[in-house]
Amino acid sequence: MGLFSKFFAQTRKPEGFLGKLMVGGMNGGHAKLADWGMSHLAVINPARIADLGCGGGRNAGELLKRYPRAKLSALDYSEISVEKTKDTNKAFIEAGRCAVVQGDVAALPFEDAAFDLATAFETVYFWQGLEKCFSEVFRVLNGGGTFLICNESDGVDEASLKYERMIDGMKCHTIERLAAALKAAGFSEVIADHHPSKPWITVLAKKAVDTAEE
């Protein structure tokens, strides 16, 4: 594997020197996409947020700025990402508004119904077993809670599919595939938006209020 391929393989689980370089570029590189995704959250006001696959931590900080009364738990299974997120959000951590943990989305280390909002920016490409992972997100959301997925790829754009072929374990999902997995995990309502000029997609899934204690 050449250096170029090795570098982009770090998007799955950043490790070592190349992983640090990758995480260092995530915050700026995905900012416009993430902000577009967050614009779909205009009608909610969560008090408890989980940012899953937090990468470099920029989006966790933006969510805390967007919701100044909220507290947020950021999770990633890469130690490098966890440390970068802690550094990026040091002030929020010291203020008691942000906690950063290392963990796996297939077995989230959170209690049932712990959050009002869960987010996943540029990360579900690497979630092994979508229905299982989405079921875990469903479990930790409160009744009426929202799950936001924001991807740069719509699952059919050739540029992203090139990276899918290059990076082991990466899968670019279509809106239809994501919606089917979310419904299978128990979400009652799924709304998707496709950027008018780019392959970006945002998918919002709602957990019905009457399932809060299930």
Express each pLDDT in 26-84 by its tens digit. 555 579 999 999 999 988 999 999 999 999 999 999 999 999 999 999 999 999 999 99
Residues shown for the chain: 214
Backbone phi, psi, residue 206, to 5°: -110, 140
Structure tokens at 62: 């933006």
Structural domain span for residue 154: 46-211
**How is the beta sheet containing 71-76 ordered, strand by strand?**
98-102, 71-76, 48-52, 115-121, 141-151, 201-206, 189-194
- Go through 48-68 and write b for each residue having 16 or more CB atoms within 10 A of its CB, e for each that does not: bbbbbbbbbbbbbbbbbeebe
Kindly tell me if the per-residue pLDDT of 212 is higher than 90: no
Kindly tell me if the per-residue pLDDT of 22 is higher than 90: no
Domain-located, residue 192: yes
Domain-located, residue 95: yes
Domain-located, residue 37: no
pLDDT single digits (tens) 110-129:
999 999 999 999 999 999 99
CATH of the domain at 94: 3.40.50.150
Read off the pTM: 0.87
Instruction: Give pLDDT, residue 3.
Output: 37
pLDDT single digits (tens) 139-189:
999 999 999 999 999 999 998 888 888 888 889 999 999 999 999 999 999
Domain-located, residue 17: no
Instruction: Give pLDDT, residue 30.
Output: 74
Count of domains forming the chain: 1
Domain-located, residue 28: no
Single-letter residue type at 144:
G
Domain-located, residue 2: no
